[in-house]
Structure 1
């Protein structure tokens, strides 16, 4: 049975059972406060915390008994440490009018002792939270453009510091020991920006860096470690550029062994999303002008599979890494594609329109999509899906109410085995599935296609492929223009350039093998013959395209109807 789901909205905080039950959680102490700003689970799902505008509560999920109550009612952000021993709370920064000193607004609460063990000043909400390793061996904070490190959750003593000029962003690898940290320093006065990777606590200047990557085009960076902490992806972006109003982007690969390289992408356009596989040996990139391309890369930043193009801008691996969901949200129509990462095959496809949040269930086979405020204040609700593409439940909240957040209760690693999707399991899920949501709008049709049944392709989509596999020519596939030229040269051989007698064309005129032209002595007549032959060749190409399954446009269909009259006119000119 899948774990339950927690919700936060204008109705307060509540929980429901996960599939297959999907009923309300009977023992959960529902909080009806209309001022719940935040909710958070511990990493193993054993604790849940929320602030209701008056106080902050910590509840044990095994029996829903209250563990602690904190007298902080204006908390905007909550975060548990990886082992659930510390709860970090962040409030808006304020200044004491009498002393003109800032009030501490970042509080570290010990779940075991039930007391706040440290209060610090953290002015900005961005990157407010301290970063821990999974074993809570070290904790790191960015304080006034330098990194402060604490060990063993002892926050009274700064164990060491990392000085990197004016470091603005950092990323701590969650695995270890040994522990690794990456820091980003923006460029200034003609100096490039750079990212450096260090091994904790060896911070003895640039020479101590395990890897160093510099770049000039970077106003901001996004850094993502893989699960084992051996490799880092660095996505750089600029606010604007000469080529694009949206700026330039670059994706770089860095490893703790010193390897650094640019990830080469095969399509121009923005980079929408980067995601490491939970298996830590591969990553996907969603990029390029729509329809976007998705590529899978190995630990050498080499492409190993191409998922083709389509209406997607996000990619999500399930917790076990054996299923990948490619999604298109935001200004796209909520397309969901499920791929088997072992066979690299598309297994299911559906749509979840108006989605603002997406999350895999810890069991690796169910998905939660939700439409939440303030992103969308209408049609708030949530849907539960199976990775076979079947929707198991759809719940919409009342029009007068709002849904602000929906999240699965996490589970410790190993609780759920790697899912194996069989035909019988898909059949059982399909039997319990609900009808798919209705589509709100029809696809756009250009003016010339309106009122007809002809399908119009606004984009040419590419299918999935292996970039390292050599593709042989399909004997049933028509040759390209260049291939036809090469074949014609081979057929002519040493006699190329010599004039040949041209037989008079009949109704079976073959345009793919044009005969050499012989002048009639009349320039005007020769010109008409050449034009007629050119039109007939175009018609033959259109007929080949029509046989291969391509849908022709209306003007092309009308051109096909003129073939008979053109052949008659050509025959009359060549006989006379």
Structure 2
């Protein structure tokens, strides 16, 4: 039988552990701490739970709530466990008493079983505060004065190896076991480009030591992500200011580096900021959410080729389920909380629920449920959380009491393989709270046009529908996607035709009306035909103006409605010729 995940809830009312979905009831084995906590965390395998309540740091077993260790560290604001639960790391804000030249060490490494201090270190900045470990704890690394210090077998009194370059600004150790690799970022200076390099421990020096190298000029900061198999890294490079003035967010580019030495710039299909980049748990694909709103979302393979385009929509985040079989695209923050749930195997949309005012989203390890929450200080009103089934059903809802605040919710993690992948369902799971589907947005239309049918010219944005981009996958496009594709091709062909008509032939031969227009022999009939063609030509011009976005007057719209009648009259006159 599969285990039941726990949900940790931290707020102004204290810290509690709840027995997970579909409903969340307080865990009887855990004594709720009524004092507000500074931080909470689970160990990597979920067997331990730690928190600081402003008096001390406590570590308990998640299964029965029994105490493992307690530490007298009331100012601790961040906690973390080493992968095998041998070391507890605590960090508190750096302070410098008047009678101390250097201040007190604010980063402590503790032996979890004996509660003895292993090493006390100085870490003034919160960035990269916690040492990084390999999965087997054979190697750990931390950044010290622009260089990386490597330790082996949790011996922090001896630096086993160093990586020193002109200025290592950031690093990321690969997940999993040996061989361990590290990705480092060095910002550019004095006209030199910034670069990211991959190294395999312990070969860290020499001109040929790097597994891969990628340099770029436009980068004030980067974010780096390894895939789970530690075979490739995605690097999002960002500038604080877009010199072209096109974006308030600055300018961003996405780069790909593989341990085999291959590097590439990921070619995005729309201009604008990069909101989110996530690897699939299978490590063979990644999803990017990007572009000016409405944003695009595209899945790429390891060759940086687009596989599936989800079209455009109000979204700024992407979340793969732990098993990788479901992808959620969402628009949180200043967007309305719309979520799109997709079956990754079929690239078919499951549902489209909405979680307004949500500031947090995370998958439950079972791959069946998610939690959304409205937390302080991001939003100080309407705090609370909801447990959802991925089909859009709300299974549990908890609102925070008046005057209280919710600060954090966190799922208990589990080892990989603890929950099997299940078949994706499309029918909403039964729930007493029902579902919350996103309501279709209505474009504002002036009062003078509200009695008329909606046209393409009234849309604020050009909508793009999902489409499969795999080679030879045209047949798998939906009817709507095919229709949209045909419209784009027809529009393009029409523009080319207008362009060719606008360009006069090199030597136009004069053609008389008698040669171009067949005569009926009746002047009155010829005159009627000429007038009808003139009116139809004027209607075509109005249709072109309407397609380009111009709002037509009432009398012009009435002319458009007479097109069929005029064509019929013209046909009758021509038949009589």
TM-score (ref. length: structure 1): 0.85
Which is further off, 448-457 or 532-541?
448-457
Q: 1:146-295 counterparts in 2 under 5 A?
A: 146-244=147-245, 245-295=248-298
- Note if contact 1:47-1:58 (Cα within 8 Å) is conserved in structure 2: yes
- C-alpha distance in 1, partners of 2:565/2:125? 77
Cα drift, residue 127 of structure 1 = 1.5
Q: Which of the numbers 469, 486, 490 marks the counterpart of 1:480?
A: 490
Query: What whole-Å deviation, never above 9, does each CA across 1:157-200 have from its counterpart, x for those lacking one?
Result: 11111001110100110123111101111111111111111110
- C-alpha distance in 2, partners of 1:452/1:370? 41
- Note if contact 1:47-1:61 (Cα within 8 Å) is conserved in structure 2: yes
* Correspondence for 2:10: 8
Equivalent position SS for 2:46: coil
- Note if contact 1:536-1:566 (Cα within 8 Å) is conserved in structure 2: no
Cα drift, residue 437 of structure 1 = 5.4
- Note if contact 1:176-1:229 (Cα within 8 Å) is conserved in structure 2: no
- C-alpha distance in 1, partners of 2:255/2:78? 31
* Correspondence for 1:435: 434
- Note if contact 1:3-1:362 (Cα within 8 Å) is conserved in structure 2: yes
Equivalent position SS for 1:184: strand
Cα drift, residue 241 of structure 1 = 2.4
Q: Which of the numbers 467, 470, 474 marks the counterpart of 2:469?
A: 467
Query: What whole-Å deviation, never above 9, does each CA across 1:255-285 have from its counterpart, x for those lacking one?
Result: 1111011000111111100000111111111
Q: Pairwise CA RMSD of aligned residues?
A: 3.6
2:374 is equivalent to residue 354 of structure 1 = no
Equivalent position SS for 2:219: coil
- Note if contact 2:386-2:398 (Cα within 8 Å) is conserved in structure 1: yes
Q: 1:46-195 counterparts in 2 under 5 A?
A: 46-195=47-196
Cα drift, residue 291 of structure 1 = 1.0
2:278 is equivalent to residue 307 of structure 1 = no
- C-alpha distance in 1, partners of 2:221/2:484? 50
Q: 1:321-470 counterparts in 2 under 5 A?
A: 321-422=324-425, 426=427, 429=429, 431-436=430-435, 445-448=444-447, 457-469=459-471
Cα drift, residue 448 of structure 1 = 4.4
- Note if contact 2:48-2:61 (Cα within 8 Å) is conserved in structure 1: yes
Cα drift, residue 303 of structure 1 = 1.1
Which is further off, 444-453 or 230-239?
444-453
Structure 1 residues 310 and 100 mapped into 2: Cα distance closer, same or farther (>3 Å)? same
Structure 1 residues 469 and 53 mapped into 2: Cα distance closer, same or farther (>3 Å)? same
TM-score (ref. length: structure 2): 0.85
Equivalent position SS for 1:250: strand
Query: What whole-Å deviation, never above 9, does each CA across 1:11-30 have from its counterpart, x for those lacking one?
Result: 01012221234222222111
- Note if contact 1:2-1:361 (Cα within 8 Å) is conserved in structure 2: no
- Note if contact 1:532-1:570 (Cα within 8 Å) is conserved in structure 2: no
Structure 1 residues 563 and 529 mapped into 2: Cα distance closer, same or farther (>3 Å)? closer
Query: What whole-Å deviation, never above 9, does each CA across 1:371-417 have from its counterpart, x for those lacking one?
Result: 00000000000011111111111211112100000111111222111
Structure 1 residues 480 and 152 mapped into 2: Cα distance closer, same or farther (>3 Å)? same
Which is further off, 178-187 or 390-399?
390-399
* Correspondence for 2:33: 31
- Note if contact 1:15-1:25 (Cα within 8 Å) is conserved in structure 2: yes
- C-alpha distance in 1, partners of 2:192/2:137? 36
- C-alpha distance in 2, partners of 1:316/1:343? 17
- C-alpha distance in 2, partners of 1:475/1:354? 33
- C-alpha distance in 2, partners of 1:554/1:381? 50
- C-alpha distance in 2, partners of 1:538/1:450? 20
Structure 1 residues 13 and 359 mapped into 2: Cα distance closer, same or farther (>3 Å)? same
Which is further off, 239-248 or 225-234?
239-248
Cα drift, residue 110 of structure 1 = 1.4
- C-alpha distance in 2, partners of 1:330/1:368? 16
- C-alpha distance in 2, partners of 1:305/1:441? 24
- Note if contact 1:306-1:464 (Cα within 8 Å) is conserved in structure 2: yes
- C-alpha distance in 1, partners of 2:495/2:440? 46
